[in-house]
Chains A and B, each alone.
Chain A
Amino acid sequence: MSKLEVYIDYKSPYAFIAKDPTYALEEQFGIEIDWYPLTLNIGSYLGTARTNDSGKVVENHRSPKQWLAVKYAYMDARRYASLRSLTLRGTQKIWDSSVAAIGMLWAKEQGHKALKHYTDITYERFWKRELDIEDESVVLNLLREAGADIDGFSAYLHQEGREYHDRLQDEILDKGYFGVPTYVIDGEMYFGREHLPRVRWHLAGKPGLLPDVANDSVIS
């Protein structure tokens, strides 16, 4: 069976709604996904903005075209989230998700169960606006709750983990991965959850014709 790498970012609404359909691959194909953080620099391609609690824009560095893309992306992600009763509240600023990403790397070292639990609670609470993912103590608590051993995390976050994360982001971009979720099997890259039919086809040994892209996962 081919190995599947999946690249995610906790601040991406599209990666959030792809999480459970992606987990389903593990059960369907009896595999363990190799997860990596891909920390997006959203401001570099969608500009930056900040809103207050009533949704009013109080800081704006976005073009009309960028606003169009951002508004559509949230509307699109929210409609799919609501079909699964997931809460997805638009963020009020562009978050730096690197601390949560380093938490992910730490959880990964602790095993699949801890990583899955950490990812689940981080996504769920962040998209309910209950989580400051830039706060080290918040991430530490998430790791503890996920069942990870947190001894040494603080030092890891500021040294080895940070260096690994930053080096990883550089390598990821060199490999040509630029967004989330990204799926990689046998060096073949599929970007976006609409590629899940192709990921399944690839994992199944490429039977028949390459399927088309589609948001076709059914999650009970």
Chain B
Amino acid sequence: MAAFEREGLTLFIDFNCLPTYLAVDGVCRLLDETGVEERWVPLVKLPGNTSRGTGATDPLAAYKNRRAGAKRRFAERELQRNCERMGISREQGARDIDSSTAALGLLWLHEIQAKRDQFRAYVKSVFLAVYRKPESVEDLDTVVKKLDQCGVVTDGFREASVDEYLAKLQAVQEEIAELGIFESPAYIYEGECFQGRQHLPLLGWLMSGRNGLPPV
């Protein structure tokens, strides 16, 4: 999984992230329009990545708590808006899963050098299972079923040691952390890192040859 910064567009995705799901169709369209090569990399929330609460002796504790409350309210409103866009319920959009097992499926696709369409089919079917037609993608059997449905050889996947694959996933996460990536979706194009789906217009401009004025 090394050399994320090779040619084409590298996409870092967490299956437990609604904004990432929102970006998938748009980025696939861009890739189709520009013919740029793609590379999907799993991103999972690592333990210890959450921020700590403020201590009682912190003089800014009251301000921090009020600001954190405001951020939470905005996040809730944003969730509602995104669900409205997707035509799903708030409960569906707020679903919180451990995306590690689904991430292992993505690693397997790299292992067997799956085709572009198989990567995309897998990515879309996992997101569908997380946010639209709930299935437990935390379960290895479901992930195997998803891989099967994408026409992928799964012989060896189930037999492989989960520990071995989790270690591989951890190594990938460490490489991602080295790149300074902390948000999904994230992209690397021509060595430049973009975090968040709001960058798709600029990515489109870059990928299609920088014609006209850039979207900013």
B64 touches A72 (CB 8 A): no
Most A-side CB within 10 Å, residue of B70, B192, B202, B216:
B216
Cross-chain contact of B180 among A68, A84, A173, A213 (Cβ < 8 A): A68
In whole angstroms, what is the CA distance A38 to B202 when docked? 28
Interface residues on chain A, size class = 35 or more
B195 touches A76 (CB 8 A): yes
In A205-219, which residues have CB < 8 Å from any B CB? 209-210, 212-219
B74 touches A176 (CB 8 A): yes
Q: Could you tell me the distance in whole angstroms from the C-beta of B205 to the nearest C-beta in chain A?
A: 9
The main secondary structure of chain B at its interface with chain A is helix
Does A71 lie at the interface of the complex (its beta carbon under 8 Å from any beta carbon of B)? yes
Q: Contacting chain A: which of B32-40, B77-85, B140-148? A: B77-85
Contact A178-B180, Cβ < 8 Å, known A76-B195, A194-B196, A212-B22: no
Does B6 lie at the interface of the complex (its beta carbon under 8 Å from any beta carbon of A)? no
In whole angstroms, what is the CA distance A218 to B200 when docked? 14
A189 touches B77 (CB 8 A): yes
Nearest A residue (CB) for B52: A63
In whole angstroms, what is the CA distance A189 to B213 when docked? 29
B64 touches A219 (CB 8 A): no
Size of interface on B: residues with Cβ below 8 Å to A? 35
Does A21 lie at the interface of the complex (its beta carbon under 8 Å from any beta carbon of B)? yes
Residues of chain A contacted by B194 (CB below 8 angstroms): 76
Residues of chain B contacted by A95 (CB below 8 angstroms): none
A220 touches B213 (CB 8 A): yes
In whole angstroms, what is the CA distance A63 to B34 when docked? 40
Q: Could you tell me the distance in whole angstroms from the C-beta of B64 to the nearest C-beta in chain A?
A: 5
Contact A177-B70, Cβ < 8 Å, known A17-B216, A215-B216, A219-B213: yes
A213 touches B197 (CB 8 A): yes
Residues of chain A contacted by B85 (CB below 8 angstroms): 209-210, 212
In whole angstroms, what is the CA distance A125 to B76 when docked? 37
Nearest A residue (CB) for B64: A44
Does B158 lie at the interface of the complex (its beta carbon under 8 Å from any beta carbon of A)? no
B67 touches A45 (CB 8 A): yes
Nearest A residue (CB) for B48: A65
Cross-chain contact of B26 among A68, A178, A212 (Cβ < 8 A): A212
Does A141 lie at the interface of the complex (its beta carbon under 8 Å from any beta carbon of B)? no
A44 touches B60 (CB 8 A): yes
In A106-120, which residues have CB < 8 Å from any B CB? none
Beyond known contacts A79-B192, A215-B199, A217-B216: 15 more, CB 8 A cutoff: A21-B216, A41-B60, A41-B67, A44-B67, A80-B202, A176-B70, A176-B73, A176-B74, A178-B70, A194-B198, A210-B81, A210-B84, A212-B85, A215-B215, A217-B215
> 21 A-B residue contacts at CB 8 Å?
A45-B64, A65-B182, A68-B180, A72-B193, A72-B195, A75-B193, A76-B194, A178-B67, A192-B198, A194-B196, A198-B81, A209-B85, A210-B81, A210-B85, A212-B22, A213-B198, A214-B197, A214-B198, A215-B216, A216-B201, A218-B213
